[in-house]
Amino acid sequence: MLKINLNSNIPIYEQLIGEIKRLVEANDLQPGDNLPTIRALAAQLDVAVNTVARAYQELERLDIIESNGRKGSRIRRDFSLKPKDDSGIFKESILRLLQKGMEKDEIEQLFYDNMNIFFG
């Protein structure tokens, strides 16, 4: 069961992304499992259809789910919690920073500042 907090400072679509990831990590959702349709989940959670659509788009961009058009979406059959390569470790963080409005040069500077913490 997906849990969201309508009073949270975290946007609802981000909560949905986190909840679906949590269910996958807990093995409550398995590769190939169908997700509710966007409209059905929006109605169930009493949120806007566009909010659920945005969460599903982000999950698809993160290669966690795949869309089957009108048939709905499902957890990717080839999904694994283990990143395919080390570059995948940064993908979600970069996406979140972009969503906050940061530019490429700001993200690079933030990365290098944090690298300097470890490597001087």
pLDDT in tens, 10-36: 999 999 999 999 898 888 999 999 999
**CA-CA distance, 118 to 105, in Å (whole number)?**
20
Please name the amino acid found at residue 57. Q
pLDDT, tens digit (0-9, with 9 covering 90-100), for 45-67: 999 999 999 999 999 998 899 98
Domain ranges for the chain, please list them: 7-80, 83-120
| Rounded mean pLDDT, 106-113 | 91
What single DSSP character describes residue 71? G
The domain made up of 7-80 is a member of CATH 1.10.10.10 = yes
pLDDT at site 115: 86
Q: pTM value?
A: 0.66
The pLDDT value recorded for residue 26 is 84
- Who contacts 54 (Cβ-Cβ below 8 Å, separation ≥6)? 13
Burial of 15 (0-12, 13-18, 19+ CB in 10 A): buried
At residue 73, the 3 state secondary structure works out as strand
pLDDT band at 86 (very low <50, low <70, confident <90, very high): low
Looking at the predicted structure, is the pLDDT value of residue 82 above 70?
A: no
What was the pLDDT predicted at 15? Answer: 93
**Is the distance from CB of 59 to CB of 43 less than 8 angstroms?**
no
Residue 115 burial (C-beta neighbours within 10 Å; 0-12, 13-18, 19+): exposed
- Hunting for tokens 């059905």 — which residue is that? 40
Token match 């470790």: residue? 89
